[in-house]
């Protein structure tokens, strides 16, 4: 598959779920990057038009198309409107989703099916429609999964199950497009807990207000990952180490993680903070939109080192190698240099000397000495 993604400045981008939360943050970030055109999709037409006016006033060409992603004919209309307005589209972001909080015995099956109609079938509809158009000229499909694509969160069982299904579908779609050589790239984005109106839009069967398990991350981090994926081919991007580590531990010690989530599942997902009632429950119809953040008092984390490592893997590898070398230098003892043996100075052979008893100092040869002169030139030896 030979396909080079265009710079954002040359792209037409379709975003579902663009009226609040991650979708709204993503639309604004694309606009800041100078995207050529934006198509904003959600059920809340009034909120969409307000967002479109905001972005148009900043110089971005944006149009609002009200649609229900669970209805394939609505998304077909979105695609056709985009083609009529801009001639084509380059990136399609499937972000629309709804949520349920409660135990399985209290949530009606009708509500569970409705959640899947939006979270799963809405994403399937958008992906297949986008892939069909992109086969001719190329493009990128970006699907919003979750860290719950890897690990189920109790009291959000249906949402977790839908995100498992999203991951399975996204992987299968990617492989099929690659196998046929289609110029389409598919990326799965997996956010951890994100501070958006998601918790207020959820239909709630618990006896307390809902929350996301801490730590919560800023939705602009997810927008950053999505905009990056529109220009750079990545299989998956995960936002937030807190959520990633739960999934990783669940694969190593699943029973231990089960128990930990059972102990903390309720307290981590409820709050005593009074939330905005006009936003509550958008399962079947649109509610108040237009905000990126929830009304919860906690301050979301503005950075994700895990995300940065995925966006810049070469730099990260170099930094980690340097850190590893520095740690090794501190803790690994250096081999001691062998000391050079002190060698005694060598002196030439000297004849042994002794004092004669006649008072004259006279050097004589020691016992056993043989003269080095030839016998014929040696002086005669006296006889005694």
Q: DSSP assignment of 233-252, as one string?
A: --SEEEE-HHHHHHHHHHHH
Neighbours of 198 (CB within 10 A): 22
Average model confidence (pLDDT) for the chain? 88
Q: Domain for residue 378, yes or no? A: no
- Over pLDDT 70: what percentage of the chain? 81
Output the pLDDT for position 313.
81
Q: Is the peptide bond before 259 cis (omega within 30 degrees of 0)?
A: no
Q: Domain for residue 352, yes or no? A: no
Catalytic residue among 101, 120, 159, 217: 159
Tokens in use for 83? 């083609």
Q: Domain for residue 357, yes or no? A: no
pLDDT band at 316 (very low <50, low <70, confident <90, very high): low
Residue of 247 and 87 predicted with greater confidence: 87
Output the pLDDT for position 348.
53
What is the reported pTM? Answer: 0.82
Task: Give catalytic status of residue 101 as yes or no.
Answer: no
Cα distances (angstroms) measured from residue 75 to each of 69, 70, 79, 91, 128: 6, 8, 6, 15, 10
Output the pLDDT for position 184.
97
204 beta partners: 101
Q: Domain for residue 342, yes or no? A: no
Tell me the CATH number at 190: 3.40.50.720
Output the pLDDT for position 119.
98
- List, as one string, the DSSP characters of 64-128: EEE--TTSHHHHHHHHHHHHHHHS--SEEEE-----EES-TTTS-HHHHHHHHIIIIIHHHHHHH
Assess contact for 186 and 143: CB atoms under 8 A: yes
| Domain count of the fold of the chain | 1
Range of the domain at 150: 8-328
Helix and strand totals (H; E) in the chain: 12, 11
Q: Domain for residue 344, yes or no? A: no
Output the pLDDT for position 351.
47
* d(C-alpha 10, C-alpha 79), whole Å: 18
pLDDT of 329 over the 90 cut: no
The secondary structure element, H or E, covering residue 209 is strand 209-210
Residue of 303 and 376 predicted with greater confidence: 303
Residue of 126 and 4 predicted with greater confidence: 126
Residue of 359 and 23 predicted with greater confidence: 23
Q: Domain for residue 69, yes or no? A: yes
pLDDT tens readout for residues 27-50: 999 999 999 999 999 999 999 999
**CA atoms within 13 A of residue 100's CA, in its CB half-sphere:** 28
Least confident piece of the model among 132-136, 190-194, 252-256, 341-345: 341-345
pLDDT tens readout for residues 279-302: 999 999 999 999 999 999 989 999
pLDDT tens readout for residues 232-252: 999 999 999 988 888 888 888
Q: Domain for residue 191, yes or no? A: yes
Span 159-171, mean pLDDT?
Answer: 98
Least confident piece of the model among 39-43, 81-85, 109-113, 257-261: 257-261
């Amino acid at each position: 598959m030979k396909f080079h993604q265009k710079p954002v400045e040359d792209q037409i981008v379709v975003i579902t779920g663009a009226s609040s939360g991650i979708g709204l943050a993503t639309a604004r970030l694309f606009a800041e990057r100078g995207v050529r055109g934006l198509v904003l999709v959600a059920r809340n037409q009034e909120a969409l038009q307000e967002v479109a006016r905001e972005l148009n006033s900043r110089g971005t060409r944006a149009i609002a198309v009200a649609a229900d992603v669970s209805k394939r004919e609505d998304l077909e209309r979105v695609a056709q409107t985009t083609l009529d307005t801009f001639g084509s589209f380059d990136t399609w972001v499937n972000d629309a989703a709804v949520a349920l909080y409660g135990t399985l015995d209290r949530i009606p099956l009708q509500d569970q099916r409705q959640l899947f109609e939006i979270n799963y079938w809405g994403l399937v509809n958008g992906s297949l429609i986008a892939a069909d158009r992109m086969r001719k000229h190329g493009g990128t499909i970006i699907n919003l999964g979750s860290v719950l694509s890897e690990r189920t969160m109790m009291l959000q069982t249906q949402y977790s199950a839908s995100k498992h299904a999203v991951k399975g579908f996204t992987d299968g779609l990617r492989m099929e497009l690659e196998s046929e050589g289609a110029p389409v790239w598919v990326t799965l984005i997996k956010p951890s807990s994100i501070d958006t109106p998601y918790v207020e839009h959820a239909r709630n069967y618990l006896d307390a207000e809902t929350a996301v398990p801490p730590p919560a991350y800023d939705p602009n981090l997810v927008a950053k990952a999505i905009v990056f994926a529109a220009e750079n081919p990545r299989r998956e991007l995960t936002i937030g180490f807190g959520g990633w580590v739960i999934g990783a531990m669940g694969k190593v010690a699943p029973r231990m993680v089960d128990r930990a989530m059972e102990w903390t599942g309720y307290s981590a997902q409820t709050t005593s903070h009074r939330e905005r009632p006009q936003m509550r429950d958008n399962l079947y119809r649109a509610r108040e939109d237009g905000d990126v953040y929830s009304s919860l008092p906690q301050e979301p984390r503005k950075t994700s080192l895990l995300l940065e490592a995925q966006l810049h893997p070469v730099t990260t590898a170099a930094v980690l190698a340097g850190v590893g070398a520095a740690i090794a230098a501190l803790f690994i003892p250096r081999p001691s240099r062998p000391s050079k043996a002190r060698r005694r100075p060598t002196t030439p052979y000297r004849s042994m000397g002794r004092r004669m008893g006649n008072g004259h100092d006279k050097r004589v040869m020691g016992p056993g000495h043989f003269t080095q002169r030839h016998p014929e030139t040696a002086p005669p030896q006296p006889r005694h």
